[in-house]
Copies of this chain bind each other. A is one copy, B any other.
């Protein structure tokens, strides 16, 4: 059964091409990894989060807009096709609980799980609202130098990044940073898609994973790292995001703890005008 609404987009933007899914009927979708968002040995984790969320967004039974997404990176994705299942495990009056899984065939052709995810969508109503995490005082995007791109990671060319504080160390000398705990692993940066693209839930899921590994800032040592799980909460509506257009997003990330092979990263994303759009927590493997 082919459903036009879930066919790959013809838009020229590489992000839309990278997250495009074709309906295979019922809860099943087909997609393909994109060389445009390639990291070192697999896709950029943020684009995989966007793919998982896109399966929910494209599902004809979806109720409301995303509130929560958790993605678990079970295995490195290989280059090539994958299938996605997105199942509404529970549909309530105003909330819906999604179970998502991404599969790729192994060398014997057997389908194996490469990602698992959960998402919650909801019909939201206007209520009293308050922000206890206001945007920190930072210079405007164009007052901050644009980051030059590390050509070895293709996905970085898909983002315009302007780092205010907490740049990637230039020397990986293993010297542990001894700043105050609340800034020792802090990065703040302006970001947007390159070329610019209207902000939506899928691009926010990817933005939440844009930060380089906190352990590299805290202790610059070239150890292998990889996110194992990321949770993203969305605090804006589709209409709010539409109003943002393709403006910059301010991202902030810090580690809370680095302990025996895993560290966490607490992150926030604000719209250029100061609305808190996303809060996120992820846990990352590191070696040694």
Q: Which residues of A line the B interface, CB within 8 A?
A: 67-68, 70, 72, 74-75, 89-90, 92, 95, 97, 99, 101, 112-114, 116-118, 120, 122, 124-134, 176, 181-182, 184-185, 218-219, 221, 228-229, 231, 233, 235-237, 254-262, 264, 266, 268, 276, 279-281, 283, 285-288
Contact = CB atoms under 8 A, between A and B. Distances in A.
A231 B231 contact: yes
Contact of A127 (B75, B117, B236, B260): B260
A237 B90 CA distance: 34
Contacts of A176: 128, 130
B89 A74 contact: yes
A218 B237 CA distance: 22
Contacts of A236: 259
A237 to B, nearest CB: 7
Contact of A261 (B125, B262, B266, B283): B125
A257 B228 contact: no
A276 B68 CA distance: 25
Contacts of A255: 130, 132
Contact of A181 (B124, B134, B259): B134
Q: How many copies does the complex hold?
A: 2
A97 B113 contact: yes
Contact of A70 (B70, B181, B259, B279): B70
Contact of A132 (B95, B129, B182, B276): B182
Contact of A97 (B90, B116, B185, B281): B116
Contacts of A266: 266, 279, 281
B72 A228 contact: no
Given A264-B233, A279-B281, A228 B120 contact: yes
A90 to B, nearest CB: 4
Contacts of A101: 89, 99
B229 A128 contact: no
Nearest to A75: B90
